Amino acid sequence: MEMQNTIKEENVVVSLTSYGIRLKNLPNVLDTIYAQTMLPDVVVLNLAYDEIIPDVVDVYLKNHRVIINRVHDTKVYKKIIPTFKLFPNDCVICIDDDWLYPDGMIADFMHIHSMYPNNPISGNKYIYRGMQCHCGCASLVKSSFFGDYLDYVDEEVMRLCHSSDILYSYFAAKAGHPYIRTNGLYFLNMTPFNESVSYTKSVNNGALKTYEFLTERFGPIYGNINEYHKIKNDEYIGNIINEIENGLIHDVNFYYEKYTNVLNCNSYRLGHFLLSPFILLKRLIKK
């Protein structure tokens, strides 16, 4: 499918990459994307130039009008960055090629995006060094969230930064747009090609080296990761989030209505202002 210059102000773009035998699994994964309650405007598949698409998969991609974007093989870094070049002003929901996704995922991401339009959104709960981290399984990002930091993903960065999740999280925080997370995890089931060993190596072994390299080359983050902590440290809102996490609230729409109504309630704002010295004292005593 050829690119058209008829892009809306903010499309919803699903972006992924794949390779080798895992290409055979794309119809299974993309079926869960095309079954969403909110459909994407575009699906982009970033593939290295030398990847050969199996015939049955090629037919599927053509029938579903998937944009196949051929790029240099930069391993995990080809998942998002090439898509930003095609859609610099749009919401990009990056997904993996080895998970099946629940049908409300895109709608939920976009709902949260409407509440926090200046923050990337992560589909997990993984926090590293105070950062809510990008989730390779599913995250919503925009090019503007990273400032110009992604321009520095060069040969040295790709060679030494084994955890792209830490890199995206770090660059967003450096640019003043830290990740916030959704109410849950956005993957349903592993596909036959899911490799948990690869995840363990990336997160557990690669995170520290990636973070140390980035802070040495680009400097510490300092105080840019306030948005997530502002949300979590609010006791009332924190209780609602905990209820969601523990399965005590099952109606997500009710959660968001309650959340936004509370934040916009004048009596809540006044009460929170009057109680803030006591809340601060309580936190200091806990420390």
Quote the CA–CA distance of 141 and 79 in Å, as a whole number.
12
Answer yes or no: do 43 and 152 share one domain.
Answer: yes
210 and 248 belong to one structural domain: no
Q: In which domain, by residue range, is 259 found?
A: 234-286
Same domain, 153 and 218: yes
In a domain, 6, yes or no: no
Domain match, 27 and 68 both: yes
Residue 4 falls inside a structural domain: no
State whether 169 and 280 are in the same domain.
no
pLDDT-based confidence at 131, cuts 50/70/90?
confident
Structural domain total, the chain? 2
Q: What pLDDT score does 273 carry?
A: 56
Are 37 and 150 contained in the same domain? yes
User: How many Cβ atoms are within 10 Å of 196's Cβ, its own excluded?
Assistant: 9
Q: Which of 144, 140, 104, 106 is nearest to 124 (CA)?
A: 140
What predicted TM-score, i.e. pTM, was given to this entire model? 0.74
- Per DSSP, the three-state class of 188 is coil
* Ranges 101-105, 184-188, 207-211: which has the least confidence: 184-188
> Greater confidence, 124 or 157?
157
In a domain, 2, yes or no: no
* Same-domain status, 159 and 142: yes
Final residue of a structural domain among 225, 247, 268: 225
Amino acid at the residue 47: L
Which of the listed residues 225, 249, 268 is the one where a domain comes to its end? 225
Mode of pairing for the β-strands spanning 12-17 and 42-48: parallel
